[in-house]
Amino acid sequence: MPNSKAIPWHERPVRMMRLDYVDRLARVRYEDLDALARSKREDWHINCEWVIGTPGIAPGLGHLTTFNTPKFEKYAPLGDFDLVRAYLPHARNHGIRVLAYLNMHWFSYDFAAEHPDWEQITASGEPYGRVHPLYGGGTTLCVNSPWRQWACDMVAEAMRTGIDGVFLDGPVVFPGCCHCESCRNLFHERTGSPIPPEEDWGSELWKDFVEFREESMAAFLADCRSAAREVNPDAVVFLNAGSWHAGAWRVARDIEKVGPHQDFNGAEAFLHPGQGDRPLFFWATAAKHLMAGNKPSVVFSHHALGAWHYIPLPPVETALAIAQTAACGANPWFAVFDYALDHSRDLAVRGVRDVSAFIEDNEEFFTDSRSTAKVALLYSRQTATYYISELAEMYAGQGAVEERDLIASTRSGPAPEDLRRRKETCDGICGNSYLGWFNALTRQHIPFDVLLDSGVTDEGLADYDVLIIGNAACLSGEQARAIRRFVQSGRGLIGEFEAGCYDERGRSRGTSPLAELFGVASLNGAMPPAYGEEYIRVAGAHAVTDGFAAGQLIARPPYSLKVTAAPGAETPAVYLEPTGRLYAAPKGESCHPALIAGESAAGRTVFFPSLTAEFYARYKMQEHELLMSSAVRWACRQQFPVTIEAPPTVQMEVRAQSDPPRLLIHLVNNTGDMQRPMYHSIPVHGLRMRVEKAGIRSVRSLRGAAGLRADISKNGADILLPRLDLYDILVVELLESTP
């Protein structure tokens, strides 16, 4: 392996935690601090810890410190005890890096009253926290106000304790904010106009405000990082940058904006019972999205049973959180509440101990590894932020639909409230589309990376054989040209529905610049939306529909376009004519294809005229999963280097190292008791893998799996793994001369 000492500590594998005492923080002053640090290293197997620098305690005590400083008020119950400086040498003695947790979003009304020009202000002129009390009481401050300098001073003072860096919990630009004097002045300087008084997607000025908020967050973070590095040039600084979920624009979170100014991309992935149907690969979805930012990443998996902070997650869920995260190349983090006063500490440790110890004992295999995926899945933040479909059929019952130019800056279009409702619909579509493709690929064991908007360039696409853009409706002209060049170079492209129909700010183009590439001759509206008794029929033999019987019926997604295929394009599936009602027999075939496949001397394309992935995310029908994965395999032209026969609940990620050369096949067994939270893990047996790679020297299991067999030949290896429990890595060692 490369000399690990030459790699900055935060770019090596990191296992983070935070032990939270909430309002019993004063107990720390009576703890055996060396025993506490030793326990975190030996019981929890961490090598990085967040210590509380400013509390997240009611009624919003983020302005108080746990360390001694002449510049800020101290948390009174600690007296003269400097929590950070007292604990730091013990943590260092046990090989634990220390970051300070700084609460940057929750402040008491009393503190805010001392600084009336610091609060985030709504369009009505009222402070956000007075209208929407944070956590039942307390307010929040604005990143553009004079509070920014206060925050930078807090960061610098925290760094003077000798810690390695800071995590900023927040700030958050809350929905509709901010209309404070500082924001009004800055926005006017930039645009020459006042801040729009309400959400209005028909106004370009509103979109300017959306970008202004995100760029304000980035500027705040940049200043905080500069303040930290004035004290320590190697300081690590990051915040909660948000994950892949739709609607992140509402709180101005975008890892592409803040990424250049932080040392980790981090985001929450907290499992809350009762809050919807959490996907099986819950933590992997966050990890791959964060890793797309091309820097070390951390997935925050709260080690608590939702809002019951003193009941730990079942050990299976905790272990899966860490395993899914690590398998994708990201770093795990978990928060543990003070279990010293009850019986549940052993249960809390149990879920962490084994999998974290496994990562610690095998750290060299997590260091400086890279994904080998040849498939890229685009997560388009542009689309998630600006997409509002012009299709009237999308908004049944949501106001006037006769107006076509929904995006134009004109008052002749739909009212802002109508656009808001339509935006909510499209936000949900964006999130489900990403989730649908993510789940289908993972369940079908197709290794893939997530790509962000900034990666849709010749350079960003260079390592991939297939690009899945899904319903990336909002693409710039240069992105569309890069996609065309990608296909013209002989590679594969898969898209859906309105891909490319709008520019990067959501303005309609009328016709997608990718239509010809996808073999679409014309768009003739949409099928009537319906969730039952509407069908697609497999029409003919094609590699994409291989495995489906001729004439087989597939459920039609409700959002489906009527398109005409260009001459020469193949249409292996077609829509049936709408039935219009339940308990009605299927009708005959329409003239509209449900799938268009194209192949030329250049590349292969597959176009789904419907929101197939969005439908699959919600209904989980296997036919759609198989159709989507078959399209990817056909578009790729060549066999994937690693294939596996395993249940779809087994997550496979393939990574590589170059010194020494080897492949690392991460296998996470998510098979359990069919509910969330998951309390039982069920081993799987008889996993068979094929590795197409010349020069294989040996294959072994890092878990020491009994009975592992590898039949190595000149062109690869056939592997049998008799049993997989929760997490294992197969190490495929290669000869030094292997290309």
The pLDDT tens digits for 678-697 are 999 999 999 999 999 999 99
Do 52 and 183 belong together in one domain? Answer: yes
β-partners of residue 653 are: 666
Q: What is the CATH number of the domain that holds 719?
A: 2.60.40.1180
pLDDT of amino acid 390: 93
Do 722 and 652 belong together in one domain? Answer: yes
Instruction: Please choose, from the candidates 606, 445, 599, the residue with its C-alpha nearest in 3D space to the C-alpha of residue 514.
Output: 606
- The helix/strand/coil state of 193 is coil
β-partners of residue 724 are: 684
**Hey, what are 104's tokens?**
């940057």
pLDDT of amino acid 311: 87
pLDDT of amino acid 342: 62
Strand segments, DSSP code E, in 223-287 are 236-239, 265-268
β-partners of residue 502 are: 474, 508
Distance CA 610, CA 13 (A): 41
**Hey, what are 488's tokens?**
């013209």
**CA dihedral over 179, 183, 188, 191, signed as positive or negative:** negative
Do 227 and 151 belong together in one domain? Answer: yes
Do 597 and 677 belong together in one domain? Answer: no
Of 204, 231, 263, at which residue does a domain stop? 263
Contacts of 674 (CB under 8 A, 6+ apart): none
Do 75 and 152 belong together in one domain? Answer: yes
Residue 564, classified by CB atoms within 10 Å of its CB into exposed (0-12), middle (13-18) or buried (19+), is: middle
**Among all chains, which residue has been given the structure tokens 């599936």?**
573
Domain residues for 671? 642-734
**Hey, what are 560's tokens?**
């489906």
**Hey, what are 233's tokens?**
């040039």
User: Has residue 357 been placed in a domain?
Assistant: no
Question: Which whole-number Å values give the CA distances from 467 to 31, 108, 374, 473, 636, in the listed order?
Answer: 54, 48, 9, 15, 9
User: Has residue 326 been placed in a domain?
Assistant: no
**CA dihedral over 39, 41, 43, 48, signed as positive or negative:** positive
Q: What is the CATH number of the domain that holds 114?
A: 3.20.20.80
Distance CA 466, CA 491 (A): 6
Contact 407, 506 (CB under 8 A): yes
Distance CA 7, CA 78 (A): 37
Instruction: Please choose, from the candidates 148, 10, 165, 15, the residue with its C-alpha nearest in 3D space to the C-alpha of residue 84.
Output: 165
Strand segments, DSSP code E, in 135-181 are 165-169
Do 630 and 703 belong together in one domain? Answer: no
Question: Which whole-number Å values give the CA distances from 444 to 371, 618, 693, in the listed order?
Answer: 17, 17, 21
Do 596 and 481 belong together in one domain? Answer: yes
Distance CA 232, CA 165 (A): 9
**Mean pLDDT per 10-residue section of the chain, whose length is 739 residues:** 73 95 91 96 97 95 97 97 98 98 97 97 96 95 98 98 96 95 98 96 96 97 98 97 87 94 95 84 96 96 86 93 98 86 76 96 97 98 96 67 33 71 94 97 98 98 98 98 97 98 96 96 91 92 92 96 95 95 92 95 94 97 97 93 97 97 98 93 98 97 96 96 98 82
Q: ∠599-480-625 over CA atoms, to 5°?
A: 55
Residues listed for the chain: 739
DSSP code per residue over 95-117: T-EEEEEEE-S-B-HHHHHT-TT
What are 106-164's pLDDT values in tens digits? 999 999 999 999 999 999 999 999 999 999 999 999 999 999 999 999 999 999 999 99
Distance CA 332, CA 348 (A): 15
Instruction: Please choose, from the candidates 63, 77, 153, the residue with its C-alpha nearest in 3D space to the C-alpha of residue 109.
Output: 63
User: Has residue 320 been placed in a domain?
Assistant: no
Do 648 and 599 belong together in one domain? Answer: no
Distance CA 95, CA 38 (A): 9
Instruction: Please choose, from the candidates 397, 376, 543, 392, the residue with its C-alpha nearest in 3D space to the C-alpha of residue 449.
Output: 376
- The helix/strand/coil state of 656 is strand
What are 301-350's pLDDT values in tens digits? 988 888 888 888 999 999 999 999 999 999 999 998 887 656 677 888 88
- Measured in degrees and rounded to the nearest 5, phi and psi for residue 632 equal -65, -45
Q: What percent of the chain has pLDDT over 70?
A: 96
Distance CA 5, CA 241 (A): 28
User: Has residue 46 been placed in a domain?
Assistant: yes
Q: What is the CATH number of the domain that holds 600?
A: 3.40.50.880
Distance CA 694, CA 186 (A): 59
User: Has residue 546 been placed in a domain?
Assistant: no
Distance CA 282, CA 262 (A): 24
User: Has residue 586 been placed in a domain?
Assistant: no
Distance CA 482, CA 553 (A): 36
pLDDT of amino acid 347: 82
**Hey, what are 427's tokens?**
């936000």
Do 612 and 722 belong together in one domain? Answer: no
Continuous H helices in 192-299: 204-231, 255-258, 282-291
User: Has residue 316 been placed in a domain?
Assistant: no
Do 123 and 209 belong together in one domain? Answer: yes
pLDDT of amino acid 411: 37
Do 631 and 649 belong together in one domain? Answer: no
Contact 249, 174 (CB under 8 A): no
Domains contained in the chain, number: 3
User: Has residue 167 been placed in a domain?
Assistant: yes
Do 624 and 695 belong together in one domain? Answer: no
Distance CA 46, CA 40 (A): 6
